[in-house]
Chains A and B, each alone.
Chain A
Amino acid sequence: MIENRPFITFLSHAVLILGIAIIAFPIWITFVAATHDAVRMVQVPLPLLPGDQFFANLDQALNKGISGGSNSGVGMMIFNSLVMALMIAIGKIAISLLSAFAIVYFRFPFRMGFFWMIFITLMLPVEVRIIPTFEVVANLNMLNSYWGLSIPLIASATATFMFRQTFLTIPDELLEAARIDGAGAMRFFFDILLPMSRTNIAALFVILFIYGWNQYLWPLLITTDQSMFTVVMSIKQMLETAEQAPEWNIIMMTTLLAMLPPVVVVVFMQKLFVKGLTETEK
């Protein structure tokens, strides 16, 4: 503290608390909506305080879904989301580790060519190349499968850059020592590089898990089979049904379920999350 100005300190706290209230208000309303029954949710004004239907709504959202919709609860969709997020996160980390290792520790023809080819992926988000990518996936018979959901999103320039950065800070003496002891390339990779990049891998995992879980446009395009839907995309479909029969309590419960896993990851792994965010953007 540079100077003691109680009023300004008080003002700072007040502004921050107000800011948090504004940011958190939508979540509070969502939570409240998820604790009332359907009858209460069509009476204006809507409640501001929670009711007692939380578990009944939870059960209906997980197992039955909304009555107007044809789907059967979001339990399966949460599982699909989880599989997709994990496949994307682990896949990205694995292939980025390998290619960063090749680019930093080997001299081989076309090294820079490969590097630039990976770099280009940074410039082509799925939103700008949806139709041709969709055609490729359709031709490979990967529609409605976990592979189709995850593999096309797995190439990652940012993760490769981050691991390249990490590997460049690892002292050369370690490689010399390993070679004197007779370790080959892959032995060095598994026994020295991997353990030394542990924190970076964990930080990146947090970011990529959130990225994977929150995918929307891609799953929307390539899944037509109910059993492959993800929970994030199911919300949009519920909102469409809601035009005729609004069951906001169930929709809002599903919304809570869809945001819970990534939010929990951010809050409880905050250190890793902040590290991951600042390092991948560098």
Chain B
Amino acid sequence: MLKQVHFGPSYIPYLLVTPQILITLVFFIWPAGHALYQSLLIEDAFGLSSEFVWFENFEVLFADEHYLGTFKRTIFFSVLVASISMGFSLILAAMADRVIKAAMVYRTLLIWPYAVAPVVAGALWVFMFDPTLGILTYGLSMFGYDWNHKLNGNEAMALVIIAAAWKQVAYNFLFFLAAMQSIPKSLIEAAAIDGAGPVRRFATIVFPLISPTTFFLLVVNIVYAFFDTFGIVHTITQGGPAKATEILVYKVYNDGFVGLDLGGSAAQSVVLMAIVIALTVIQFRYIEKTVEYS
């Protein structure tokens, strides 16, 4: 943590940490504390007076079946985004790991969606699935399927999941490929000599050995689906139709900025913070025992 050899006591280290600490205090600690405090208040409709109500906002929140529905929906959404995106990239990485010479070319062609902003990803997919004009809507109509995500909640959810998973494939692919390439070749060769075919080797050697990476990616993907998909939902569906795609981050924004229910929104923020903290702790406990990547 600290160097064996270091500088003696002086005022310099305080000056050095000042910018970071100042920004953290003003833009992180203070707002988070304020959200905590506000989550214990109920304000009247004009914001003129507020009453301290202890945990009533939370009680209301967890008794509200809309909120519980949003909670379940977010979990459903995250699990599907994580599994679709990780499954797809695991297959591609396993294939790229076999064709080692071309692997880097394929990597270049696969990693760039990482750089696409969630909102932009949303715009691409909403264009392709536009109910009247979209090219994929047209394709589906040739099979007799009538796609309209503006009316059908399940279709809206499917579209949001596809767009979110599409964007995350690049990231997962990169980490899976790096993990597979760090497996010693001698292990694979020994198994091949013993007569194990490619599928058997993948199932009994490669997959177990990359499991730390898989677990790490699972946490990262769930964090991504919980918190970084606001832009996707906002462009594609705005949480609709009839709240079918309203996930937790979207509800915090919507209740706070559109519905102006500050206490309720703050209570939701606090619940989200608890989720992030839990996920970060899981991630860090794991990272202590991490594998080598590059």
Contacts and interface: CB of A to CB of B under 8 A. Distances in A.
A106 B7 contact: yes
A27 B124 contact: yes
Interface stretch (B55-63, B69-77, B286-294): B286-294
Given A108-B13, A132-B38, A26 B166 contact: yes
B34 A135 contact: yes
B282 interface: no
B199 to A, nearest CB: 9
Nearest to A41: B133
B124 A130 contact: no
B98 interface: yes
A154 interface: yes
Interface of A: 1-3, 5, 8-9, 11-13, 15-16, 19-20, 23-24, 26-27, 29-30, 33, 41-42, 44-46, 48, 94-96, 98-99, 101-108, 111, 114, 117-118, 120-125, 127-133, 135-137, 140, 151-152, 154-155, 160, 167-168, 172, 175-176, 185-186, 210, 213-214, 216-217, 221, 232-233, 235-236, 239, 246, 248, 251-252, 255, 258-259, 262-263, 265-267, 270, 273-275, 277-278, 281-282
Interface of B: 1-7, 9-10, 12-14, 16-17, 19-21, 23-32, 34-35, 38, 88, 91-92, 95-96, 98-100, 102, 106-121, 123-128, 132-135, 138, 166, 169-171, 174-175, 178, 185, 188-189, 192, 198, 216, 220, 227-228, 230-231, 234-235, 249, 252-253, 256-257, 262, 265-266, 269, 272-273, 276-277, 280, 287, 290, 293-294
Contacts, number: 297
A9 B96 CA distance: 10
8 contacts: A8-B198, A11-B95, A12-B95, A23-B166, A131-B38, A131-B262, A270-B108, A282-B287
Nearest to B11: A108
Contacts of A239: 123, 126, 235
- Shortest Cβ-Cβ A-B pairs, 5 listed: A132-B31, A214-B117, A262-B115, A102-B16, A106-B13
A19 B113 CA distance: 13
B31 A129 contact: yes
A232 B188 CA distance: 46
Interface of A, secondary structure class, is: helix
Nearest to A262: B115
A26 B125 contact: yes
A16 B128 CA distance: 23
A9 B99 contact: yes
A51 B117 CA distance: 26
A214 B227 CA distance: 14
Among B10, B27, B30, B249, chain A packs the most CB atoms within 10 A around the CB of B27
Nearest to B19: A95
Among A127, A236, A263, chain B packs the most CB atoms within 10 A around the CB of A127
B123 A23 contact: no
A29 B31 contact: no
Contacts of B102: 13, 16
Given A5-B198, A278-B294, A251 B135 contact: no
Nearest to A170: B3
